[in-house]
Structure 1
Amino acid sequence: MTGDIRALLSRHLPGYRVHSVTRLGHGLDNMVYEVNDELLVRLGQAADPLSHRQEVGRLAVVRELSPLPVPDVVFADDEAGAIAYRKLGGEPLLRNPLIDPALLAEPLGRFLTAIHGAEPDRMRPLAPLDLYPAPTQLQDAELDYRDVERHVPEDQRPLVERFLRAKPPDEPRSLRFCHNDLGAEHVLVDGEATITGIIDWTDAAITDPAHDFALIYRDLGPEVFELTAAHYGPGLDEDDRGRVRFYARCALIEDLAYGLSTGPGYYADAALAHLPWTFS
């Protein structure tokens, strides 16, 4: 596979000298390689030219809007299912447990204000509409929970089971352009608690803005969520907050199931660590 990466670079960056190619990891749909400690090349499991063109286009718009760094596309190859980006500094917040997440609330609030402020009509050609009805999410969460229930500490199971029996929230009144996967693994920070990048825009969509806040709630806790919301221009009402908590809980169960099956184990570790504040 490293030969494929070298061939791509030769085709799109003639004269670029490749000193090292390192496989960083993979997700459900992609494999990521680092080149010369300065480029990241993502290879899709299946080529999707329309999806690639949309991602390149929306990242160009996001770079205009975002007060925080986002990936800069160097080249895209629709036929090979590849996109190359310049590597951003910092490390995923998920791997920086000593960082005080409260220090990130203000920049995250400004970031979400800017991104959610994008005109939906401008973004619709560049991002899909993501409609995932709350009752369906709850049903899926219950199925996932039954698969992983034995891994949840016995004293915490009632928290999850009470949620699964509750009525799902009403649907949102409006939809906006969202990152749609703003977990701690996609927020890069340096040792000074400065956000150095927001990465992985493959799931970006026109959807409920509460989805972006939900992963802040899940990964950084309710207090950091409220601090972030305080810096969010449009504001959040109680209905919004109810959907944030609902999405956060569904997402935690999904991550727990993923980490205990095909995904990296740290997803399950983080889910179990964050379960008390997410469900209490």
Structure 2
Amino acid sequence: MTGDIRTLLARHLPDYRVRSIRRLGHGLDNLVYEVNDELLVRRSKAADPETNRQEVALLAAVRELSPLPVPEVVFADDESGVIAYRKLPGEPLDQHPVSVPERLAEPLGGLLSALHGLAPSELRDLAPLDVYPAPTLLQDAELDYRDVQGHVPESQRPLVERFLRETPPDEPRSLRFCHNDLGAEHILVDTATNSITGIIDWTDAAITDPAHDFALIYRDLGPEVFALTLSHYDLTLDDQDRARVLFYARCALIEDLAYGLSTGPRHYADAALTHLPWTFA
């Protein structure tokens, strides 16, 4: 596979000298390689030229919109489902926690103000509509929980099981442009300065419920950072919106726990268990 990456680099960057290629990681849909510690090459497991072109165009739009750094595309090869980006500085927050997470709240609030403040019609052709009914999410969470129940500390199981018996919240009244996967693994940070250096992985960006973006901040950084982020948010979240934030956070935590205990990296499960008390309290 690294041979294929070398071939693509030679085709699109003929004067670029490749000194090293290493596989950096993988997700459900993509493989990621690091080249010379300065480029990231993401290859889709199921290449779709139109999807590739759309993502490149979306990233260009997001770079104009976002107050935080986002990946800059160096080249794209639509037929092979490859996009190469300049590597942003910093480390993923999920594996490199900062000592003062409260300092992340203001830039996150600014980011979400910019994304959610955009009229969805402006990105209608680039960002898909993503509406997943709350009752279906709750059913999915219940199925995932059956698979992982034995890994949840016995003292914390009642918290999860009470949630799974509750009535899901009402559907959102309006949809906005969202990152739609703003977990700690997609927030790059400088741990020395407690600052955000970039927001990555916009493949799930969509027109959807803005509570989804806040939900992963709540799950991964806790209710205090969530509240501080809201204080720097230019739009309004009412009580119904906040109920959906908590609902999505809990569903997402159960999903991550199941993922980390099955096909995904174990640290997803470890983080889910660590964050369970504040997410379900």
Task: Tell me which interval the TM-score lies in, with the shorter structure as reference length.
Answer: over 0.9
Q: For 1:99 and 1:60, how far apart are their aligned partners in 2?
A: 32
Q: For 1:206 and 1:200, how far apart are their aligned partners in 2?
A: 16
- The farther-off stretch of 269-278 and 47-56 is 47-56
Q: For 1:186 and 1:59, how far apart are their aligned partners in 2?
A: 15
Q: For 1:243 and 1:215, how far apart are their aligned partners in 2?
A: 12
Residue 170 of structure 1 pairs with residue 170 of structure 2: yes
Task: Please give the residue correspondences for 1:95-244 in structure 2 after superposition, counting only pairs within 5 Å.
Answer: 95-190=95-190, 191-244=192-245
- The farther-off stretch of 192-201 and 95-104 is 95-104
Question: Equivalent residue of 2:74, what SS?
Answer: strand
Q: For 1:128 and 1:74, how far apart are their aligned partners in 2?
A: 24
Query: What is the Cα deviation at residue 95 of structure 1?
Result: 1.5
Question: Equivalent residue of 2:94, what SS?
Answer: helix
Give the aligned partner of residue 251 of structure 1: 252
Residue 44 of structure 1 pairs with residue 44 of structure 2: yes
**In the TM superposition, what whole-angstrom CA distance separates every residue of 1:163-191 from its partner, at most 9, and x where no partner exists?**
00000000000000100000000000012
Q: For 1:219 and 1:99, how far apart are their aligned partners in 2?
A: 14
Residue 94 of structure 1 pairs with residue 100 of structure 2: no
**In the TM superposition, what whole-angstrom CA distance separates every residue of 1:110-151 from its partner, at most 9, and x where no partner exists?**
010001122211212101110100000000000000000000
Give the total of aligned pairs: 280
- Percent identity over the alignment is 77
Go from structure 1 to structure 2 and tell me whether the alpha carbon gap of 1:99 and 1:50 turns closer, same or farther (over 3 Å shift). Answer: farther
Is contact 2:40-2:87 (8 Å) kept? yes
Is contact 2:181-2:205 (8 Å) kept? yes
Q: For 2:152 and 2:18, how far apart are their aligned partners in 1?
A: 46
Query: What is the Cα deviation at residue 99 of structure 1?
Result: 2.8
Runs of 4 or more, structure 1, over 3 Å off, are: none
Unaligned regions of 5+ residues in structure 2, if any? none
Is contact 2:93-2:188 (8 Å) kept? yes
Q: For 1:12 and 1:23, how far apart are their aligned partners in 2?
A: 20
TM-score normalized with structure 2 length: 0.98
RMSD value over aligned CA atoms?
0.7
Query: What is the Cα deviation at residue 50 of structure 1?
Result: 1.6
Task: Please give the residue correspondences for 1:39-78 in structure 2 after superposition, counting only pairs within 5 Å.
Answer: 39-78=39-78
Question: Equivalent residue of 1:71, what SS?
Answer: coil
Is contact 2:98-2:194 (8 Å) kept? no
Give the aligned partner of residue 268 of structure 2: 267
Question: Equivalent residue of 1:94, what SS?
Answer: coil
- The farther-off stretch of 95-104 and 52-61 is 95-104
Q: For 1:233 and 1:122, how far apart are their aligned partners in 2?
A: 19
Give the letter aligned to residue 258 of structure 1: Y
Give the letter aligned to residue 28 of structure 1: L
Query: What is the Cα deviation at residue 98 of structure 1?
Result: 4.0
Give the aligned partner of residue 3 of structure 1: 3
Give the aligned partner of residue 21 of structure 1: 21
Unaligned regions of 5+ residues in structure 1, if any? none
Question: Equivalent residue of 1:164, what SS?
Answer: helix
**In the TM superposition, what whole-angstrom CA distance separates every residue of 1:70-127 from its partner, at most 9, and x where no partner exists?**
0001111111110000000000111222432111001100010001122211212101
Is contact 2:128-2:206 (8 Å) kept? yes
**In the TM superposition, what whole-angstrom CA distance separates every residue of 1:236-263 from its partner, at most 9, and x where no partner exists?**
1111100000000000000000000000
Q: For 2:78 and 2:122, how far apart are their aligned partners in 1?
A: 23
Question: Equivalent residue of 1:206, what SS?
Answer: strand
